Amino acid sequence: MSVLRTELCDLLGIPHPILQGGMGPYKTEDLAIAVSNAGALGVISTIGMAATLLPEAAPVDAKRMFGDDPPLVLLQKSIEAVTKATRSSRAIFGVNVPVASEFLIASQMFVKQVIEAREADSDTERQLRVIVTSAGNPKPWAKVKEHGLLWLHVVPSVYHAKKAESAGADVIIASGHEGGAHCAWDPVHSMVLVPAVARAVKTPVVAAGGFCDGASLAAALCLGAIGVQLGTRFIATKESDFQPVWKEAIIKREERQTLVARGLFGPMRFLRNNCAEKIVEQTLSDAPRFYLGDPVESNSAILKLEQQGFVDLMDGKEDTALMFGGEVTGRITDLPTVKQLVRSIIEEAASLLKTLPGNVLIR
């Protein structure tokens, strides 16, 4: 297999410059294990775990999805499971914690749990090296670095990238508007955002939003990034924790079949189906009150439709399941293992970067 090392590999201690995005509502525990063992950075997602703490924040039947364990026990068990399953390979993994204002109570608990888990077990301390924050103000979270963690923060703009750099983030993840799930209202896509952020800050930048293969990894490196974060592409793998209907939907849809509407903690990009179309309709219905300054919950569209029986996050039916996904769904046509996917990305990127000079005339 080709070797493609960047600063990201050296910084995180991983063989390949690829990160797995933190994607709810699932724990992404199985996916994190597979990704880390494949030589990239696997990430445990916490947002679904907090559903019992924030019943107003997400239409998640937490007991049905996770059982009776409270959120901190869920996270601890996931950390233990990923540590155990990656111990023989000594693979590195991380935890994603959204830090939106609506999530702060859970954010503080989860960050504390990550720190305590590392302090309690030497294997966990060695392997759980990364915490990824997103969807909120980075400044209060710089303290994680005092505990030996590498801190990555996700941003949607140059303005937010500069705030993350000022706060001391080790790596900035520039996430373009085409990405799935949480996004910004401003439609700044990766081709503009990634090079703009890379030029605006001295902190290393990882590209996210629209990346799925070796060609897009090579492009990200040319744009000034030191690696890529994949979300939607990793959902459509054999080991991912996501339901078969979700994986199949990603494979079937083209690039035009996603929609942005008000979701959890602001706007989100959904895979297009009857459920997503109704969320857009409800978003448009709420818009006049929203712009006049009347109180409208950020996720009211989803909540209202859930109450009417149109939304079920655990639904196995393609038309009513609430499924997040990026525009890159149009470039995903198969369901490989994670190892096969990572290998193909590295091989393709290495081949393109090797052959490119011979295909370009420079005078």
Residues 199-224 pLDDT 10s: 999 999 999 999 999 999 999 999 99
Of 67-76, 179-188, 306-315, give the lowest mean pLDDT range. Answer: 306-315
The pTM for the full model equals: 0.91
Which of 105, 107, 144 has its CA nearest to residue 128? Answer: 144
Rounded Cα distance between 70 and 50, Å, is 9
State yes or no: pLDDT of 301 exceeds 80: no
Domain 7-242+336-356 has CATH 3.30.70.20: no
User: Is pLDDT above 60 for 38?
Assistant: yes
Per-residue pLDDT band for 228 (boundaries 50, 70, 90) equals very high
Tokens of 80: 């233990």
pLDDT tens digits, residue range 156-177?
A: 999 999 999 999 999 999 999 9
Distance CA 129, CA 256 (A): 37
Q: Are strands 205-208 and 128-134 parallel, antiparallel or unpaired?
A: unpaired
> Where on the phi/psi map is residue 265: left (φ > 0), alpha (ψ -120 to 50), or beta?
left
Q: Is the dihedral of CA 329, 332, 338, 339 positive or negative?
A: negative
